[in-house]
Amino acid sequence: MRRTNALAAAVGFGGGLIVGLIVWSQQTQRSRRDLFSARPWRRMAALGYLRGQNSPHHVRLLRDYVAWERHPGLRRRGQLILRRMERSLDR
C-alpha cells in the first residue's frame, strides 16, 4: 500500500511539473509580444523570453526597448540582456 501511494505521489508531482513547464513555455512565447506593454510584469516576461533569443533582429528590438523603457529596473534588465546578446553575436 505504501509503495502505491509513493508511486502515485511521484506520478502526480511529475505530471504537475510537466504541465507547469508547458504552461510557462506558452506564456513566455505569448509574452514576447508584450515587450512594449503598459504592464510592467508583461514587459518583464517578454524580457525573459528574449533572453534566450540571439539574433540581430532581437538586438535591434532591445535597443528600441531600452531607449523607450522608463522603469529603471526593467531598463537595467534590458541593457544587461542586450549586452549579453551583442557579445554572443560578435563571436
C-alpha cell at 13: 508531482
Residue 2 has pLDDT above 90, yes or no: no
Q: What is the pTM of this model?
A: 0.66
pLDDT digits (tens, 9 = 90+) for 46-91: 998 888 888 898 899 999 999 999 999 999 999 999 999 999 988 7
User: How many degrees, rounded to 5, is the angle at CA 70 between CA 69 and CA 75?
Assistant: 55
What are the E-state strand segments in the chain? none
